Structure 1
Amino acid sequence: MERVCVTGAGGFVASWVVKELLAKGYIVHGTVRDPDDEKKNGHLKKLEHANERLHLFKADMVDHAGLCIAINGCAGVIHVATPVPAGKVTDPQAEMLEPAITGTRNVMNACLKSKVTKVVVVSSIAAVIGNPSWPKHTKMDENCWTDAEFCMKTELWYSAGKVISEHEALEFGKKNNLNVVSICPSIVFGPMLQSTLSTTNIILLNLFKGKNSFNLLELDKAEEDVDIPIVDVRDCVKALLLAFEKPEAEGRYVCSSHVLKTNALIKLLKSLFPHYNYPTVYVLLPYLFLFLLGLNQLFQKMERVCVTGAGGFVASWVVKELLAKGYIVHGTVRDPDDEKKNGHLKKLDYANDRLHLFKADMIDYAGLCTAINGCTGVIHVAMPVPAGKVTDPKAEMLEPAITGTRNVMNACLKSKVKKVVVVSSIAAVIVNPSWPKDTTMDENCWTDAEFCMKTELWYAVGKVISEHEALEFGKKNNLNVVSICPSIVFGPMLQSILCTTNIILLNLFKGKNSFNLLELDNADVDVDLPIVDVRDCVKALLLAFEKPEAEGRYVCSSHVLKTNDLIKLLKSLFPHYNYPTVSCRITTEDAWMLFQKGKRTRILANVGKKFDALLRPAKDEEN
């Protein structure tokens, strides 16, 4: 895996760079002043994959030796570190110029010493637009450079530091045959990963207090309504990674996405938060140099979605993806204070700000009404999956599934929810002995509930009855209900408690055939098993929720795997285990076989992962 160093890793933009690099599979070296400072850098250690692939190094920008250690072994460097003024600069040399200019020189020399192949320098729009000599009515682009001498005279120290350090970095690259690209973002806004407020966020929050604090960014007070160039931090980071990964990227780029009037900003804030007293004085940017906080989330009236059974295997991933998309999530759980079952939810990105857990069992109608109140949508996942023989079908399976779904539907109607996605199962599709032979089983095929009761397939009974009732309820009450029938869901878990499908997988290592946990019988027949990765399943659920054209019922599957092939695959990866020699088949074998024949007409998530993704939980467990 390729190693990349990110300077100033704990900062606003840099934290997002670290997050995205880890998500892309890089090993990340991050420079920080104090790796043990949990307040400033603790959020980095909580990022996904941080335990395996993030290494923090103590290195100030004026510490050349420390930078050399951090950058050693890295193929690339993304140089973000530079102070942003949080007030009047009293010592320009120590506060701004030395960290920016000397720091960048140190980074460049360390990169040359370590034979780094590419460096991306994060500059600023401040290094572009502070040029009073630029011809009037001529667009300021990457060819325009801020006048450093003018900035020093007018005490715009941030601009001076940025333009000098960027220019020197590009020249250093040319002289030393080092591939250096610079990116000049406009006013970077967006959600923060760190707990300490960035300067731009301080400015925005001060607006709520009626304070004009744009002077924190070297601005003067004025009554003019000017254009403000802005960019979301996530878009900025995409640009940085494009510049890093694309071999054709060279030279200098300006990164901006929107223009917002200062007056429009005040009006927008007033419309969203009318109970605050806003300043009546607008801000004039000297040469259009302005920084704002990220409003991408605040500008939208965030939509609320309720996820039932939020702590479960599939539901946890639904919560994670909804939070990542900017939704406020209401999650129903049996006990919000049960850290073993639900603690993982509180550790998800954005959970502190936008996740609300409600105590509500599926048979607790009042609790469901409380949880769903105020939500525009519901993704109903809650349903017990058998982890052994069902001894009390009504209490263990039927009441939670059927009565629970009725309660959810009625609560949705009461709260005037706009859309409901019901997570059903392939078990509600394929157990139908009356289905014509040689006819593909698709969304038009329904499991025979009466047959399942006779054969004691209680999970299938609960799924098919609850799904059918939910769709009919929607039709009768003009409620938009869509159902998704996933095949067998495998994949990595977010929760600490093993789910049924992963119990089955792990039992194979012990030589146990435990497919009976899914109401399957032992047999010597090597049947086709339709499977789907949990992340693809969740993509399908969110597509069904977000796409207005989604309607009715969908089957969600991505791969077909022979039971024998599964055993062989496990053996090739983990040969030191004793595997069962008996394959598995479903009681209604013909139904499963027919499901695999022909084209499945309404499958949503046909974008599956490699087999390795299926086995990741096993790898994690072994480690």
Structure 2
Amino acid sequence: MTKTILVTGGTGYIGSWVVKELLEKGYRVRVPVRSFNRKDKYLHLQNLPNSTNLLELFEADLLIHGAFDKAAEGADAIIHMASPFTLRFKDPQRDLVDPAVKGTRNVLGAASKSSTVKRVVLTSSVAAVHGDNIDMVEQRLSEFTEENYNTTSSLKHQPYSFSKVQAEREAWRINAEQSKWELVVINPALVLGPSLAGNSNSESLQIMKDLISGKYRFGAPDLYFGFVDVRDVAKAHVLALENPSVSGRFIIAERVANFMELVAIINNKFPGQFKLPKMVAPKWLLYFVSPLFGLSPRFVARNVGYRIAFNTSRSRHELGLGYTPFEHTVVDMVNQFKKN
């Protein structure tokens, strides 16, 4: 019998790749959209192979209590990905924390009411593992693992990261109060790679746009991130869905690199084609210009110049995830920008 999977956030940057992967494997996929009138938000899903017989769209608002109850009934599992990823917001509680936490509560509540859902795969982030890069130094760690939780973010400092750890903790709390479904959490690093959703407003796409459009041409901050291919993140969700023996959290990252290492890959593959930074911006200068980039002096102090490391052995050995080399991810993403 064909299994049915409810995918929240299925129209988004990562979610679209998850839906593609599921449809190709022959799953029935239910995807909520905010409004059928905004066809530009979901048309790309209807153009995917197998979508005609296996894709079902329905209207639902993440923040309306009970909006997912009907879609969860009859579904074998839920992949909950819907959560805002933006660094441009006015009110962090309203724009980040409420949608992340209330949305999680609503979707997992639907799982608990359903008589059929046996597994929930939740998209969290390495932002729920650590807040600032300096956390690794302050906690005397040689690397971050799934045992670590972000304890340094707040509504006033790193509110996006705060929203991710609040939502994930809420998911584990709800999971502990019931015995119908199992929870697996995916904690991806910064996701890059090509987009299936033409009009996605994901921060991942914005970061690459800023880099190749010349925003940092006078100097890039010495900021280190974990990076991972969007297609690998989608695969990780499907592996977590299909393997009944896996549980807990999974950090998903191919490598850690800073902006200049990313620039070197672009320069190597696309020489002279973009206004890329030629040097690392000195940290003292960043204190003065950080407001232009929406960064606080505290963010600069606690993140710039601090290397980080992630232990990804669980994703490789337990999930069985093979990673796309970062160079391929970057080239595919830049090629798509060029084509568009």
> Residues 300 and 232 from structure 1, CA distance in 2 versus in 1: closer, same or farther, beyond 3 angstroms?
closer
Which residue of 2 is the match for residue 267 of structure 1? Answer: 264
> Which of these residues, 144, 149, 162, is aligned with residue 145 of structure 1?
149
> Residues 296 and 38 from structure 1, CA distance in 2 versus in 1: closer, same or farther, beyond 3 angstroms?
farther
> Superposed, which structure 2 residues align to 1:171-250 within 5 Å?
171-177=173-179, 178-197=181-200, 198-212=202-216, 223-224=221-222, 226-250=223-247
Which residue of 1 is the match for residue 331 of structure 2? Answer: 299
Q: Distance between the aligned counterparts of 1:205 and 1:295, measured in 2?
A: 17
Whether contact under 8 Å (2:20, 2:48) holds in the other structure is yes
Please, which runs of 5 or more residues in structure 2 have no aligned partner? 287-299, 309-325
Q: Distance between the aligned counterparts of 2:107 and 2:70, measured in 1?
A: 11
Partner SS for 2:79: strand
Which residue of 1 is the match for residue 131 of structure 2? Answer: 130
CA displacement at 1:63 relative to structure 2: 1.6
Which residue of 1 is the match for residue 11 of structure 2? Answer: 10
Q: Distance between the aligned counterparts of 1:138 and 1:258, measured in 2?
A: 15
Q: Which letter maps to 2:328? A: N
**After superposition, what is the alpha-carbon deviation per residue over 1:480-523, rounded to whole angstroms, capped at 9, x for unaligned?**
xxxxxxxxxxxxxxxxxxxxxxxxxxxxxxxxxxxxxxxxxxxx
Which residue of 2 is the match for residue 28 of structure 1? Answer: 29
Q: Distance between the aligned counterparts of 1:295 and 1:188, measured in 2?
A: 13
Which residue of 1 is the match for residue 162 of structure 2? Answer: 160
Q: Which letter maps to 1:123? A: S
CA displacement at 1:152 relative to structure 2: 1.5
> Residues 153 and 98 from structure 1, CA distance in 2 versus in 1: closer, same or farther, beyond 3 angstroms?
closer
> Residues 142 and 195 from structure 1, CA distance in 2 versus in 1: closer, same or farther, beyond 3 angstroms?
same
> Residues 151 and 71 from structure 1, CA distance in 2 versus in 1: closer, same or farther, beyond 3 angstroms?
same
Partner SS for 1:16: helix
**After superposition, what is the alpha-carbon deviation per residue over 1:125-183, rounded to whole angstroms, capped at 9, x for unaligned?**
11112163852233211000001xx3225431211111011111122112211311111
Q: Distance between the aligned counterparts of 1:300 and 1:173, measured in 2?
A: 38
Q: Which letter maps to 1:140? A: F
> Residues 3 and 206 from structure 1, CA distance in 2 versus in 1: closer, same or farther, beyond 3 angstroms?
same
Q: Which letter maps to 1:119? A: V
Which residue of 1 is the match for residue 276 of structure 2? Answer: 278
**After superposition, what is the alpha-carbon deviation per residue over 1:52-101, rounded to whole angstroms, capped at 9, x for unaligned?**
011111112112222112222101000000111152x2111221111100
Which residue of 1 is the match for residue 78 of structure 2? Answer: 77
Please, which runs of 5 or more residues in structure 1 have no aligned partner? 214-220, 303-327, 329-349, 355-623
- The structure that has the greater radius of gyration is 1
CA displacement at 1:40 relative to structure 2: 1.3
CA displacement at 1:270 relative to structure 2: 2.5
> Residues 228 and 86 from structure 1, CA distance in 2 versus in 1: closer, same or farther, beyond 3 angstroms?
closer
CA displacement at 1:18 relative to structure 2: 0.5
> Superposed, which structure 2 residues align to 1:407-556 within 5 Å?
none
> Superposed, which structure 2 residues align to 1:342-353 within 5 Å?
353=339
> Structure with the greater relative contact order (CA < 8 A, sep ≥ 6): 1 or 2?
2
**After superposition, what is the alpha-carbon deviation per residue over 1:357-406, rounded to whole angstroms, capped at 9, x for unaligned?**
xxxxxxxxxxxxxxxxxxxxxxxxxxxxxxxxxxxxxxxxxxxxxxxxxx
Runs of 4+ in 1 over 4 A off after TM superposition: 280-285
> Superposed, which structure 2 residues align to 1:31-50 within 5 Å?
31-50=32-51
Q: Distance between the aligned counterparts of 1:31 and 1:230, measured in 2?
A: 28
Partner SS for 1:267: helix
Partner SS for 2:328: coil
> Superposed, which structure 2 residues align to 1:560-575 within 5 Å?
none
Whether contact under 8 Å (1:23, 1:49) holds in the other structure is yes
Q: Which letter maps to 1:58? A: E
Whether contact under 8 Å (1:129, 1:288) holds in the other structure is no
Whether contact under 8 Å (1:31, 1:57) holds in the other structure is yes
Partner SS for 2:187: strand
Whether contact under 8 Å (2:192, 2:330) holds in the other structure is no
> Which of these residues, 255, 260, 263, is aligned with residue 258 of structure 1?
255
Whether contact under 8 Å (2:23, 2:55) holds in the other structure is yes
Question: Aligned pair 1:68/2:69, yes or no?
Answer: yes
Q: Distance between the aligned counterparts of 2:60 and 2:155, measured in 1?
A: 32
Q: TM-score, normalised by structure 1?
A: 0.44
Report sequence identity in percent.
33
Question: Aligned pair 1:105/2:105, yes or no?
Answer: yes
**After superposition, what is the alpha-carbon deviation per residue over 1:174-224, rounded to whole angstroms, capped at 9, x for unaligned?**
2211311111011111111011143211221221222149xxxxxxx9743
Which residue of 1 is the match for residue 121 of structure 2? Answer: 120
Q: Distance between the aligned counterparts of 1:152 and 1:251, measured in 2?
A: 24
Q: Distance between the aligned counterparts of 2:332 and 2:50, measured in 1?
A: 30
Q: Distance between the aligned counterparts of 1:158 and 1:84, measured in 2?
A: 7
Q: Distance between the aligned counterparts of 1:120 and 1:281, measured in 2?
A: 39
CA displacement at 1:297 relative to structure 2: 4.8
> Residues 212 and 98 from structure 1, CA distance in 2 versus in 1: closer, same or farther, beyond 3 angstroms?
farther
Whether contact under 8 Å (2:155, 2:162) holds in the other structure is no
Partner SS for 1:106: helix
Whether contact under 8 Å (1:188, 1:233) holds in the other structure is yes
Partner SS for 1:228: strand
Q: Distance between the aligned counterparts of 1:278 and 1:54, measured in 2?
A: 41
Q: Distance between the aligned counterparts of 1:71 and 1:298, measured in 2?
A: 36
Which residue of 2 is the match for residue 442 of structure 1? Answer: none
